[in-house]
């Protein structure tokens, strides 16, 4: 009886090839940082020369000049960036470089802003380098763990094969021994062989049955898991649909509320205009009444004067003479009385205007309170809508936004320093006394203080 045992050894880390060395990973990290810096410089230069960099040819010229600048090995400073800008401008316009003019003024030996920018850039590149090295170590460790698991699995499979070979050898040994001892009992031996074959077939059948049962069990478990996932997915979708419907209903209510507010505001405005017209009409009527009274008083005064004149004509001239002091005193009293009466009228008019103003201010205050209340309700609805909308954002999206914001802030800080440094290039010292005091720590690190 011959038993065939076949197997294959899974590929290991040695068969797939050794892992990359630390020097190769370091070079890749530096290349990645260089590519990142080259992309930023390309974007900045395209933005600076936007009117000239509209076509593909101009963009290729900018990329070529930036690559040439980075591969030259020059230190990145303000003067180097100015030289790069001049080279790009000359390449785009086709102009010839102007001859250098001699200047009697000597620039400062140390440019603190460029040194700080260079130091910040080195720290940033070092930080990115360390971060990528840590990520590479994690990846390498994960690879080692996977290779260890594969090796352990290979050992277990080899042990199982060894056990099978051992059982097979024992069976063969027993059969050979049985042949030597039971030559004369051929029939019995054949029967025993048949029994052994049946037993082995039964074992194989049992093993096949167990494997089939395991496969069926695994399929049932997978189907159950799939069903649960589908149920949970349907529930989540139903929750999202319910939330969307609720948000839609709230938005419709908010719009209806806004329409009601508009109608209420229109009614309040119409009522306010109606009250204002009423007060204006009452005030006009009051002025007309005062004008009528004043005209009537003038008519009465004129009639009185006419009567007095008629009486005076009837009396003799010697009886009509009155002492001038009496006339002056009477005139003064009449003037005082008229001024007092006019002051009372003015005070009454002012009081009436004050009452009208007070009523209007009260209406305006009530209107403002109602508007503030409506604005508060609307603000709450908007805040609630905003909170429910923000609930759909994932943590990964927030981290991506934070990372992008940090990059933008870092870029803006570098550009701000570059602009500030460009303004001070013609000055003897790039930093004032106050700026040096604010940046004293960084200057001490660079030995420039």
Identify whether 227 is part of a domain: yes
Into how many domains does the chain fold? 1
Model pLDDT, residue 188? 73
Predicted TM-score (pTM) of the model is 0.23
Give the count of alpha carbons within 13 A of 335, CB side only. Answer: 6
Identify whether 139 is part of a domain: no
Model pLDDT, residue 7? 36
Identify whether 361 is part of a domain: no
Tell me the DSSP string of 333-380. HHHHHHHHHHHHHHHHHHHHHHHHHHHHHHHHHHHHHHHHHHHHHHHH
Identify whether 211 is part of a domain: yes
CB atoms within 10 A of CB 332: 10
Model pLDDT, residue 315? 54
Distances (CA, A) of 108 to 419, 428, 430: 18, 5, 8
In whole numbers, what is the pLDDT of the chain averaged over residues?
73
Identify whether 383 is part of a domain: no
Model pLDDT, residue 388? 67
**Distant-in-sequence contacts of 432-436, Cβ < 8 A, 24+ apart:** 436/112
Model pLDDT, residue 422? 62
Identify whether 360 is part of a domain: no
- Are residues 108 and 141 in contact, defined by beta-carbon separation less than 8 angstroms? no
CA distance 232 to 240: 12
Identify whether 7 is part of a domain: no
Domain that includes residue 197, residue range: 180-243
Identify whether 72 is part of a domain: no
Model pLDDT, residue 111? 64
Counting as low any pLDDT under 50, the low residues of the chain are 1-22, 25, 98-110, 318-319, 426-429
């Amino acid at each position: 009886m011959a038993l065939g045992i076949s197997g294959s050894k899974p590929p290991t880390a040695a068969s797939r090839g050794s892992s990359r060395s630390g020097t190769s990973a370091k070079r890749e990290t530096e290349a990645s940082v260089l590519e990142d810096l080259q992309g930023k410089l390309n974007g900045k230069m395209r933005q600076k020369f936007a009117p000239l960099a509209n076509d593909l040819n101009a963009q290729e010229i900018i990329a070529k000049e930036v690559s040439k600048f980075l591969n030259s090995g020059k230190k990145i400073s303000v003067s180097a960036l100015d030289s790069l800008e001049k080279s790009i401008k000359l390449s785009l316009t086709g102009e010839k470089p102007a001859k250098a003019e001699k200047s009697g003024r000597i620039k400062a030996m140390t440019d603190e802003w460029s040194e700080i920018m260079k130091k910040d850039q080195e720290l940033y590149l070092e930080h990115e380098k360390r971060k990528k090295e840590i990520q590479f170590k994690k990846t390498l460790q994960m690879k080692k763990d996977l290779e260890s698991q594969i090796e352990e699995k290979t050992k277990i499979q080899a042990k199982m094969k060894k056990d099978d070979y051992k059982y097979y050898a024992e069976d063969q040994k027993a059969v050979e021994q049985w042949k030597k001892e039971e030559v004369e009992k051929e029939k019995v031996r054949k029967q025993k062989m048949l029994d052994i074959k049946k037993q082995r077939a039964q074992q194989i059948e049992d093993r096949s049955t167990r494997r089939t049962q395991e496969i069926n069990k695994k399929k049932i478990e997978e189907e159950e898991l799939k069903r649960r996932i589908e149920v949970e997915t349907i529930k989540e979708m139903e929750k999202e649909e319910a939330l969307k419907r609720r948000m839609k209903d709230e938005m419709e209510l908010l719009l209806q509320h806004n329409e009601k507010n508009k109608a209420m505001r229109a009614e309040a405005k119409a009522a306010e205009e109606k009250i204002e017209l009423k007060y204006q009409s009452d005030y006009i009527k009051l002025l007309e009444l005062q004008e009528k009274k004043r005209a009537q008083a003038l008519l009465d005064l004129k009639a009185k004067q006419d009567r007095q004149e008629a009486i005076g004509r009837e009396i003799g001239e010697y009886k009509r003479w009155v002492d001038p002091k009496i006339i002056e005193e009477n005139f003064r009293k009449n003037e005082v009385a008229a001024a007092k009466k006019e002051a009372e009228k003015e005070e009454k008019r002012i009081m009436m205007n004050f009452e009208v103003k007070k009523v209007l201010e009260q209406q305006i205050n009530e209107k403002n309170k109602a508007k503030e209340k409506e604005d508060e309700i609307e603000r709450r609805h908007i805040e609630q809508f905003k909170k429910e909308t923000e609930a759909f954002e994932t943590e990964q999206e927030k981290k991506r936004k934070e990372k992008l914001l940090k990059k933008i802030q870092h870029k803006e800080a570098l550009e701000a320093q570059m602009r500030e440094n460009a303004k001070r290039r013609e000055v003897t010292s790039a930093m004032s006394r106050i700026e040096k005091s604010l940046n004293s720590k960084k200057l001490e690190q660079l030995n420039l203080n």
